[in-house]
A and B are shown apart, each in its own frame.
Chain A
Amino acid sequence: MQTIIGAIGRRTLHLSNDFATLLTFAYQILRTIVFPPKKGMFLVRRITLEQVYFTAVQTLPVIILFAILIGSMIILQFSKFSGQSPLGNIIVLILIRDLGPTLTALLIILRSATAVTVEISYMNVFNEMDALEMSGLDPLWVVCVPRLVGITSAILCLFIVFDITAIVGGYGIVWLVTYINLGDNLFQIADNISAADIIVGIIKAILFGIIITVICLYHGFKTKQHITQIPVAASKASVQCLGACLIVSATISALFYL
């Protein structure tokens, strides 16, 4: 019995310590953004732009395709209930408030977050972080900040693209391939969207960006010695990112809508 309690205690302490380190790490990055060093601004801007390109521009075709497919599926399924409940209302409830930011975050986790974890782990294992430091460059400033800013702004933009494409594209597909009468549902959506829906979406997108980047960078920096730790770090980071995003999404929805 004592062994079990001891194991639970040790595990709890380990998790608490891990979580506290993660929070401290997040604080250090955010502090660097608020009080940036004077040196390296040009370099940081350039790396941030590259990160936006990798995360937002290169993901655009995938997110548009996914948005059209998911939008048309939801519109197709819920159009059956349009007699009982206004379709516009349902779409606002599901797509804009929850699915939009969450699915965008999921796509970023699958596409970019794992890549960031692997990249940072690789840099750590092969002493590239030490090389940066030996050149007098601050890794927190030139590696972490551009990724945080780049990924967060990319998620924000992609979430807007996702929502618009899912609604308009979804309608377009349903109108093209079925005979379902959609009536004035597009106008219903416009009527049902409130400022709170848009604000919640933006808050979620920003928080998702911060959470995903910090978790991935944290796991990347934790990988120290062996190349075999890199896939483990990538796997852990993506699962934790998804879990954290879902918890945050549910919490924000509860805070705003309950």
Chain B
Amino acid sequence: MKLIELTEYSFESKKTGRPFLPFYFSMPPGDVVSISTDSAGDALNFLMALATLVHPLQGEYRYKENILDFSDYRNLLDAKRNIGFITSHSALISNLTVRENLLLMNAYFTNSFSMQLDLRTQELCKLFSLQDKLDMRPADLTDHDYRFVVTVRELAKKPEMLLMEYPEKYIGISNLETLNTVLFNMLGGNMCFVFLSEYQHFIETFSKRELVISRGTLQGVTEGFKGPRVNQGFEDS
């Protein structure tokens, strides 16, 4: 079974309006793909397309074998909530506190509101040193902490697929080890992971396949990477 399968898929860049030429791409559960590209913008668009944030011009997107219906954005919400999206496009809700941002999804789906974060989110907050920033508004956070909160929110929802753009820049190389530990645990649970990175260590540690995006389309996928090397942090590798 494939988690996602995009066939003859083409979409328009949100910024430039340039079409991404039709391509085929699929991922079985537990697959990890790194992106190599000549244009970071194209790679972000590709990640957005995987996150169903961009409407296709043609082709079909199958999520867990089911064809996604893009005619109404509400049909995509169930798939979206299972996709972790950590990129420069990700944002926090500015009129809520950090705690409320982290609790929002839980409050919506359980129809209740408790100010208490679940254990997993608490642990992630501890890992990223956010415990004393939970009652701050996003505007009061430093850029670094803002991105940590986005990361915690996306990881806490236990995504089936995680999309990440330049983790080394997003959370900083010094914090990659922390992310590394969390990712290893999550990849053990069959999560798919697609990321764009220039940090060779990160690529070598996680990537199973390399996807090449060039001249506005997906050029091919290179197999043969070792994939996630469990229990092997950056210090050891």
Contacts and interface: CB of A to CB of B under 8 A. Distances in A.
Binding partners A and B: yes
Interface of A: 39-43, 46, 119, 122-123, 126-128, 130-138, 140, 142
B105 A135 contact: yes
Where chain A touches its partner, the secondary structure class is helix
Given A122-B94, A135-B108, A135-B157, A130 B113 contact: no
A131 B100 CA distance: 14
Contact size range, B: 20 to 34
Given A127-B89, A131-B90, A136 B113 contact: no
B104 interface: yes
14 contacts: A39-B109, A42-B112, A128-B92, A130-B89, A131-B93, A133-B73, A133-B80, A134-B83, A135-B105, A135-B153, A136-B80, A137-B108, A138-B77, A142-B108
Interface string B107-136: 111011100000000000000000000000
Q: Which of A40, A43, A140 has the largest count of B CB atoms less than 10 A from its CB?
A: A43
B85 interface: yes
Nearest to A130: B53
A144 to B, nearest CB: 13
A126 B90 CA distance: 9
Nearest to A133: B80
B21 interface: no
A190 to B, nearest CB: 44
A218 to B, nearest CB: 16
B74 A126 contact: no
Given A39-B108, A42-B107, A136-B105, 16 more contacts: A41-B111, A42-B111, A43-B111, A123-B93, A127-B91, A130-B53, A132-B93, A133-B76, A134-B85, A135-B105, A135-B108, A135-B153, A135-B157, A136-B108, A137-B105, A142-B108
B111 A40 contact: yes
Nearest to A32: B74
A65 B104 CA distance: 38
Nearest to A136: B81
A40 B108 contact: yes
Contacts of B92: 128, 131
Contacts of A138: 74, 77
Given A133-B77, A135-B157, A126 B104 contact: no
A137 B77 contact: yes
Contacts of A123: 93-94
A135 B73 contact: no
Contacts of B91: 126-128, 130-131
A134 B81 contact: yes
B78 interface: yes
B95 interface: yes
Nearest to A46: B113
A9 B182 CA distance: 59
